[in-house]
């Protein structure tokens, strides 16, 4: 089993918190569509004979592509790779790109999971984040998607936004769960250095919310999602039973994947590679029949650190049997010693052969994970 990630880098407007590779463009996308298909051809052997279980259109903003482009990419991916007949095929969509016709046409292409970037239902938060939609457009988008037949709709929300107080965050969650969504990704606002917010912060023009407030909002998120019937299966991800993201879960379970498009990452079990983060150079390389990427071979320590980083964030936690088999006695003993400490603090617990974070541990997951990192 393998996955394919397609990075569609176009955005119509710059959101001030975003560090994903994107270019502001309303241009014709045809050169890009040709190039990404060409890249797929050139890299057709990367995933070997494995069936492709998931395809993920991420961004940037995949929904700036006309449906015919999405269709062309999908048709070619199906031609080039052995895509499973029941593959999970996700497309990220921005609320203001949603019209009934666009969504209906998208549904016919075989996309079977829509990820809608709501972020907040409150116009003041959306303005603050420099989003290009309003809260009511976001609500319309979710309704249109569900009405068109998408029965696997997920939305993204952001908390820890200055001005979004406890009551407003609680209400944002209530509104989210009032829709028939099957999945929620909720991220704490992160101020990345190279973003507008990052630069404002450096100049003292932006202040992040305090830790106490962040933890309290995370607690509300855990409680409300559980009450609404969602399972907290990864730090930022909540799904109804049967609706966890297969694509993302596979990342966390070390399943191989091929990333196509500028800045996209790939993993084949032994190495990671990432495409050039520059649209012009990406197009030029493919036009010359070449690929432009960097690669890192993963040694045992890098594999160990990656395994801890991804597995500890999930409800399945670290599998002791896998650790013993893959990282031998040294890795196993190292993990057991550290987990003993965290269990005694009530931050971790053992379930069968797995070591997982307690709810208290989830609050400080980054600190716990960093203690596990082998230098
Ligand atoms: C690839 S991004 C954007 C997808 C789509 N273009 C959109 O804007 O909705 C996926 C999600 O990551 C989250 N995200 C991106 N940057 C973030 C940040 N700095 N802090 C918190 N969440 C972030 C947002 O919720 C966003 O919807
Ligand atoms: S959050 Fe989405 S729409 Fe905004 S700049 Fe990033 S990728 Fe583009």
Cβ neighbourhood burial of 289 (10 Å; 0-12, 13-18, 19+): exposed
CA of 177 to the centre of ligand 1 (A): 20
- Separation between Cα atoms, residue 228 and residue 230, nearest integer Å: 6
**pTM attached to this predicted model:** 0.97
CA of 309 to the centre of ligand 1 (A): 20
In the prediction, which pLDDT does 201 show?
A: 97
In the prediction, which pLDDT does 27 show?
A: 73
Write out the two tokens for 160: 């820890």
In the prediction, which pLDDT does 26 show?
A: 66
CA of 117 to the centre of ligand 1 (A): 7
Beta carbons within 10 angstroms of residue 321's beta carbon: 11
**54 in Cβ contact with 3 (< 8 Å):** yes
Mutation test residue for ligand 1: of 14, 61, 92, 195, the one with most atoms within 8 Å of CB: 92
**pLDDT tens, residue order, the chain (375 aa):** 999 999 999 999 999 999 999 999 867 789 999 999 999 999 999 999 999 999 999 999 999 999 999 999 999 999 999 999 999 999 999 999 999 999 999 999 999 999 999 999 999 999 999 999 999 999 999 999 999 999 999 999 999 999 999 999 999 999 999 999 999 999 999 999 999 999 999 999 999 999 999 999 999 999 999 999 999 999 999 999 999 999 999 999 999 999 999 999 999 999 999 999 999 999 999 999 999 999 999 999 999 999 999 999 999 999 999 999 999 999 999 999 999 999 999 999 999 999 999 999 999 999 999 999 998
Nearest ligand, CA of residue 11? Answer: 2
- Separation between Cα atoms, residue 135 and residue 149, nearest integer Å: 22
CA of 131 to the centre of ligand 2 (A): 8
- CB under 6 Å to ligand 2: residues? 11, 14-15, 18, 20, 22, 59-61, 94, 117
């Amino acid at each position: 089993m393998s996955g394919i990630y397609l990075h569609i880098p176009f955005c119509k407007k710059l959101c001030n918190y975003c560090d994903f590779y994107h270019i502001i463009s309303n241009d014709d996308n045809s050169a890009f569509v040709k190039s990404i298909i060409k890249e797929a051809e050139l890299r057709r052997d990367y995933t070997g004979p494995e069936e492709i279980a998931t395809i993920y259109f991420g961004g940037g903003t995949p929904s700036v592509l006309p449906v015919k482009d999405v269709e062309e990419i999908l048709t070619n991916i199906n031609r080039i790779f052995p895509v499973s007949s029941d593959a999970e095929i996700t497309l990220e969509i921005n609320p203001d790109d949603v019209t009934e016709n666009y969504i209906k046409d998208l549904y016919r292409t075989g996309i079977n999971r829509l990820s809608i970037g709501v972020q907040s239902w409150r116009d003041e938060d959306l303005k603050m984040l420099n989003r290009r939609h309003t809260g009511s457009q976001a609500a319309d988008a979710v309704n249109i998607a569900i009405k068109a037949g998408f029965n696997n709709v997920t939305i993204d929300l952001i908390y820890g936004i200055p001005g979004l107080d406890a009551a407003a965050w609680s209400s944002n969650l209530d509104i989210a769960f009032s829709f028939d969504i099957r999945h929620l990704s909720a991220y704490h606002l992160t101020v990345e250095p190279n973003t507008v917010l990052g630069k404002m912060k450096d100049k003292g023009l932006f202040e992040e919310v305090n830790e106490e407030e962040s933890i309290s909002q995370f607690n509300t998120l855990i409680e409300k999602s559980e009450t609404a019937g969602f399972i907290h299966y990864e730090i930022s991800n909540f799904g109804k039973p049967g609706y966890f993201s297969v694509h993302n879960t596979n990342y966390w379970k070390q399943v191989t994947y091929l990333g196509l498009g500028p800045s996209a990452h790939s993993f084949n079990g032994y190495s990671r590679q990432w495409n050039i983060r520059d649209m012009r150079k990406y197009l030029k390389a493919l036009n010359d029949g070449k690929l432009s990427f960097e690669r890192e071979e993963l040694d045992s320590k890098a594999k160990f650190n990656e395994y801890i980083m991804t597995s500890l964030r999930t409800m399945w936690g670290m599998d002791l049997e896998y650790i013993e088999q893959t990282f031998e006695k040294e890795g196993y003993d190292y993990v057991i010693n550290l987990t003993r400490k965290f269990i005694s603090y009530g931050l971790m617990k053992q379930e069968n052969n797995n070591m997982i974070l307690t709810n208290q541990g989830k609050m400080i997951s980054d600190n716990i994970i960093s203690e596990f990192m082998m230098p």
